[in-house]
Structure 1
Amino acid sequence: MSRALLRSVLELRTPITRLPPSFLLPIRTAGARCLHQTSQIVDPVQQQLEAGIPLQPQAQKPSSSSPIAEAASNISSSSQPTTQPAKLHPSVRQLLPILAAQPGRYITIHIHGKPYLVTEGDSVRLPFKMPGVTPGDVLRLNRATNLGSRDYTLQGSPYVDERLFECRAVVIGTEAEPMRTLVKKKRRCRRKKTVHSKHRFTILRISELKVCDVNGLD
């Protein structure tokens, strides 16, 4: 018992140098230390005005009239490809006049992505009503995949050059089909729906089909 009392007296006389555990430290002191370490944000423009230092103008960007901008515009314009008509193959120049001399020529034209094999004088009934046309209008059909006669056929890739032919169509008018009535009903369902439809179509007549002269083409 005397040894325990002596040890306690010695511990009371010596100064305490050990720190308490970290979980016993106050959290307020750590937060206050972090707040004191942050510096105030100062605007450099406001600081120069308070100090009486005149502000210097910023460097202006080069205008469009500067030589650097002109050189950049010239480079961009020269880099853009120019659309030039493709040159004709020598075989096309040689055989196209023979094709033009033969009668009974035909052509496969494309109207709104759908092909129609026609000759001069044929009537075409489009499966839709073409918007923006009235009876009597003349249309230039410039998309064709085939142009040929009895002995020769010019195949396009995918379309024939529009400088080699002229195909025109006259809008005759529009016609409508009889009224359709369709009853929609499901099994084990007492409700039914009646749908009425009456489609309209545009009628074209091929008024001109000729092969152009290739002497004036490049």
Structure 2
Amino acid sequence: MSRALLRSVLELRAPSSRIAPLFAPFRHIQHRSFNSTAPIVEPVAQPHVSNAPNPTDDQVRPLAFKKSHPVEPPTPITDSVKTLLPLLAAQPGHYITIHIHGFPYLVQEGDQIRLPFKMPGVLPGDVLRLNRASIIGSRDYTLKGAPHVDERVFECRATVLGTESEPLRIKIKTKRRQRRKRQAKSKHRYTILRISELNIKNLGEVEASS
């Protein structure tokens, strides 16, 4: 008898213990919780100095409560302005950078302004007081505001000449893979102003108005 045949006979008589049974008994599986770790506590963010809820003298007021054009109390005029303001007022040909609804315009007395919108609540012939300017100057001197010049230093008035309108524009709007067409009509209107008065006050007039 060959060795291979003898080995097969011995394996049939004594089954190997390595073969696992077909029906093994059930085992109790212990479920482990994945939330066993301690919760992570994030540190509380300290408020920035520039965003303090209760501002003091050393802190800045919150940015969310800042106004676009805050009304600041009148400040005393510095010595340099007191010295050079009479020289600026004495020279002719003043110019000013006036701000109307956030738009800056560099104008002189007698110039016309065409606003890119229709100003509400005005009629032809009305006189408007323009009190927000960033630069006032002449040939040799320039007075710059931070960000605006004190309105007690100058007087600028504009007269409403009327309104203008552009020709009617028609734009055809289409959509891809559609035969339908739509017409969009637009007719923009403008307001025309003329700078009727521009005066630089003297130091005595400024101190009297304050």
- The bucket for the TM-score relative to the shorter chain is 0.5 to 0.7
How high is the sequence identity, in percent, across the aligned residues?
66
Map of 1:193 onto structure 2: 182
User: Higher helix fraction: Structure 1 or Structure 2?
Assistant: 1
Map of 1:154 onto structure 2: 143
Mapping of residues 99-110 of structure 1, within 5 Å: 99-110=88-99
CA distance in 2, matches of 1:102, 1:140: 23
CA distance in 2, matches of 1:157, 1:100: 20
Map of 1:136 onto structure 2: 125
Amino acid in the other structure paired with 2:120: P
Map of 2:80 onto structure 1: 91
The Cα of 1:186 is off from its aligned counterpart by 2.3
Map of 1:214 onto structure 2: 203
Amino acid in the other structure paired with 1:127: P
The Cα of 1:215 is off from its aligned counterpart by 1.9
CA distance in 1, matches of 2:110, 2:165: 22
How far does the alpha carbon of each residue in 1:156-207 deviate from its partner, in whole angstroms, 9 at most, with x for none?
0010000000000000011111000111112222222101111111100000
Q: Rg: which structure is higher?
A: 1
Structure 1-normalised TM-score? 0.60
CA distance in 2, matches of 1:85, 1:106: 23
The residue matched to 2:85 in structure 1 has which SS? Answer: helix
**Structure 2 residue runs without a partner (length 5+):** 1-71
How far does the alpha carbon of each residue in 1:77-116 deviate from its partner, in whole angstroms, 9 at most, with x for none?
xxxxxx6420001000110111111111100000001100
The Cα of 1:214 is off from its aligned counterpart by 1.5
- Cα distance 1:210–1:157, how it changes in 2: closer, same or farther (>3 A)? same
CA distance in 2, matches of 1:145, 1:166: 13
**Alignment match of 2:160 (pick from 163, 171, 175):** 171
Mapping of residues 3-152 of structure 1, within 5 Å: 84-152=73-141
The residue matched to 2:204 in structure 1 has which SS? Answer: coil
Amino acid in the other structure paired with 2:89: A
CA distance in 2, matches of 1:154, 1:190: 61
Structure 2-normalised TM-score? 0.63
The residue matched to 2:89 in structure 1 has which SS? Answer: helix
**Structure 1 residue runs without a partner (length 5+):** 1-82
The residue matched to 1:163 in structure 2 has which SS? Answer: coil
CA distance in 2, matches of 1:157, 1:167: 19
TM superposition outliers: structure 1 runs of 4+ over 6 Å: none
CA distance in 2, matches of 1:150, 1:182: 48
CA distance in 2, matches of 1:186, 1:164: 57
